[in-house]
Every structure is written in structure tokens, then in C-alpha cells.
Amino acid sequence: MEHKREIQADIVIIGGGLIGCATACALARDSRFDRIVVLEKETEIGVHQSGRNSGVIHSGIFYSPGSQKAENCRVGRAKLINFCEEEGIDYDLCGKVIVATRESEIPILHEIHERGISNGVENHLLSAAQLREREPYATGLKALFVPSAGIVDFRSVCRRLAERVEDAGHDVIRGAEVQQINEGPEAISVETTDTRIIARIAVNCSGLYTDRIARLAGQYVDFQIIPFRGVYYELIPEARKYCRNLIYPVPDPAFPFLGIHFTRTLSGRIECGPNAVLAAGREAYELRNTSWSDMREILGFPGFRELARKHWRKGLLEMIRTISTREFVRALQHLIPVVQQKHVFRTRSGIRAQAVDSDGNLIEDFLIKESERMISVCNAPSPAATACLRIGEKIAERVRRRIG
């Protein structure tokens, strides 16, 4: 029989992304816990969603007042900035503009303005001329300026969070893929190929795999993670002058996470994207990474088939934008008409873990499920990077309530 190293811990956290590391960090401040273990399957921290996002510190303007997203984003943003200050991590609160390019978008822009006021997010309506003063190459009928939005490198944030956990004497084990979980009355056992952690409680922060990990522990799972891939382009150095900071379109209320935007990075590059299409696997960052078993699982899920039936037109358009640079650029030209195909080149992609219910609805807010000894973060979509420190604290509160 194989012999596994056994570790006794208070808490085991599955997943070393921003949510797992922020949760561990919040728990590490509690001296009652002698040993916290984070298990990350990759050899590096934060290489999936947490290290492949747009790097935008969201202001919280878009979210329904009173929603978890709105509260987590507002409080989390402040905590993130404080953390960056303490750790000497670069960030820039450069502000963003949201641009209405069609008459039909103006009422939505006004709604966002009101929403921002209800959420306590400072924002200003701009005329077309005022927009040009801020972003000389952006063309719109009207715009909103949101000063509190900004940029940061979330991978650095994630790494530093993991280091804080280690500095406090706890373990972050890299290259440790969880393969088996047994929840018992007294403890929960979480196993990788060579290690067994026996803990009082486990927290599932496995991002693109939260449904699988929850199922592995015998939790009731009535949703599935559908991976949506987003492609990024970048402006060539000569065209960087076309965007000063962050330029966003007015979101379609039915698909708030869609909408290709321009983002300045801290190093002065300008990224454009991402779009969103079904990924051919949970980690299919390139088409050649297709996972047939993931595809079978996705296509066999009634919720996905219902989602595809309802939204196939939108899906097709996004797909075309993935294949055709010309179509991608056409979407960019709505915001900055001077951008041409010769000004962009394709760079990277990211994959969003989006929980979808069995009726084909995208679950928009954070979703957490609990059993006796496991807490699963089932849905942590954007702005979860901005809000990670607040979400981590909330999960830590749940852990304390369970442990008593």
C-alpha cells in the first residue's frame, strides 16, 4: 500500500489563487489556528484567473445596490489599496471612462450614474467634448468618468498574500493537486498524490474546478462551472497614444461581463479585450489545448445547452471576434475609431470560471455552499480580484463560526 505523508492541520485551503490566499491570510491573523495549509496544484501561485485577468481595480459602480458584489467591491477595493501600500506593490488609481456610442446606450449610462450614486461611487457625466479632454481619441455621445477605478498587477498581489501566510508560519504547498476528499464527523481528509491533510475544516477555492472539488467532497452541486475564454490584443507602441487610461463601453445589461475595453497596464502597454467564448476545456488557453473530456461534460450539462439555445446569436458574434482580428478591431473602433488592424497584435488569453445553473442562467453574484466540514466558494466572478481581501475575511468568519 502507498505511504502518504500525513499533516494534521486546523484548516486546509484548496487553491492558491487570490481567494484561497486572501482567506488563508485572514485566518493566519487568528492566533487560535496553529496550522493552516494551502494546497495549490500548480508549481506557482496565482497562474489561472488571478494571474490572467485585466488588472483593473473596479470601483463597484456597475453592481446592484445591496448586492454582495457591490458591498464586497467597495470594501475590498479599499482593503486592496491599503495592502498594496503596506507591501509596496505598484498601483495607479487612474480612473476610467464608460462611453456611450449609441443613442440607445444613453439611458443605460444614466442608470449606471444613478447606481453609482446609490453605491457611494463618485462618478461624473461627461459631454462628448469633456470626454475628448480626458481621452482625445475616444468618440462617444456621452460618457461617465469614474475616478476611483485603477490598475494593479494581481499576480503580484496573490504572491505577496501567499508569502504573508508563509511568514506567519503556515504552509503553502505548491505542486499539490487535490484528488480525494473524505468528510467525516470529526475531521476532513484532503489528499494529494503524496500527502494527506487531516483538518477540522476545508475551504474549496479552486476556481475553475470548484464544482468538481465540491462533488469530490460529496457536497450537493446544482450548478456547473462553464469556462469562458477571453482573448486579449495589445496596441503597438506607436498606437499607445490612442488610450490614456481605461476606456469601457456601456455594458449590455443582459451580459454585463461582455464588452471589450482598453486597459493601460502599469508598464504603459495598452491591452484590448477580453471577449468571451466557450473555452474548449477548463484550461484551454489556446485552441490546441482542447480537452475532449471537459467538452463532453459541458455539452452534456442541460444548463449549458439551455444557455446556448437562449444566447446563440451573442455567442456566435463573440466566436467570430475570436477567429477574426478584423471583427475584434471593429468592436474596438466603436470606442476609438482611429484604431486599425495594423495597430493591434494578439497577446494572451484568460478563462473565467462562470457558474451556470441547470436552467441555463449565469449565476452573477458570489455563491458559497457549506457542509459540516467544508466551505465551497462556488462562484467568484469579477470583481473578485478587486474584492479578494473582503471575500477572504468573510470566508474566514464562516470558518470561525463552523469551528466554534
Ligand X SMILES: Cc1cc2nc3c(=O)[nH]c(=O)nc-3n(C[C@H](O)[C@H](O)[C@H](O)COP(=O)(O)OP(=O)(O)OC[C@H]3O[C@@H](n4cnc5c(N)ncnc54)[C@H](O)[C@@H]3O)c2cc1C
Q: Which residues bind ligand X (CB under 6 A)?
A: 14-20, 39-42, 48-50, 52-56, 58, 177-178, 205-209, 213, 230, 274, 350-352, 380-386
Which residue's CB is nearer to ligand X, number 112 or number 142? 112
Which residue's CB is nearer to ligand X, number 197 or number 344? 197
Contacts of 226 (CB under 8 A, 6+ apart): 278, 298, 301, 303, 304, 307, 354, 355, 356
- Asked whether the CA dihedral 251, 256, 261, 266 is positive or negative, the reply is positive
Angstrom distance (rounded) from CA 236 to CA 342: 8
For residue 349, the minimal CB distance to ligand X (Å) is 8
Angstrom distance (rounded) from CA 53 to CA 352: 9
For residue 132, the minimal CB distance to ligand X (Å) is 25
Please give the DSSP secondary-structure letter assigned to residue 363.
P
Which residue's CB is nearer to ligand X, number 130 or number 265? 265
The type of residue at 101 is T
- Asked whether the CA dihedral 371, 375, 378, 382 is positive or negative, the reply is positive
- Cis peptide bond upstream of 185, omega within 30: no
**C-alpha angle 276/277/280, rounded to 5°?**
135
Which residue's CB is nearer to ligand X, number 142 or number 281? 281
Which residue's CB is nearer to ligand X, number 22 or number 142? 22
Which of 383, 346, 389 has its CA nearest to residue 49?
Answer: 383
User: In 210-337, at which residue ranges do the beta strands (DSSP E only) sit?
Assistant: 223-235, 246-249, 261-264, 270-273, 277-278
- Asked whether the CA dihedral 143, 144, 149, 154 is positive or negative, the reply is negative
The type of residue at 201 is I
For residue 205, the minimal CB distance to ligand X (Å) is 5
Angstrom distance (rounded) from CA 324 to CA 316: 12
Which residue's CB is nearer to ligand X, number 142 or number 328? 328
For residue 251, the minimal CB distance to ligand X (Å) is 14
For residue 11, the minimal CB distance to ligand X (Å) is 15
For residue 231, the minimal CB distance to ligand X (Å) is 9
For residue 404, the minimal CB distance to ligand X (Å) is 26
For residue 162, the minimal CB distance to ligand X (Å) is 10
370 DSSP β-pair partners: 375
- With contact defined as beta carbons under 8 Å apart, do 10 and 380 qualify? no
Which residue's CB is nearer to ligand X, number 142 or number 208? 208
For residue 141, the minimal CB distance to ligand X (Å) is 26
C-alpha cell at position 152: 494593479
Give the torsion through C-alpha atoms of 333, 335, 337, 340, to 10 deg.
Answer: -40
Find cell 497614444 and name the residue: 241
Collapsed DSSP state (helix, strand, coil) of residue 119: coil
Collapsed DSSP state (helix, strand, coil) of residue 235: strand
Position with the least CB separation from ligand X: 17
Which residue's CB is nearer to ligand X, number 123 or number 210? 210
Which residue's CB is nearer to ligand X, number 56 or number 374? 56
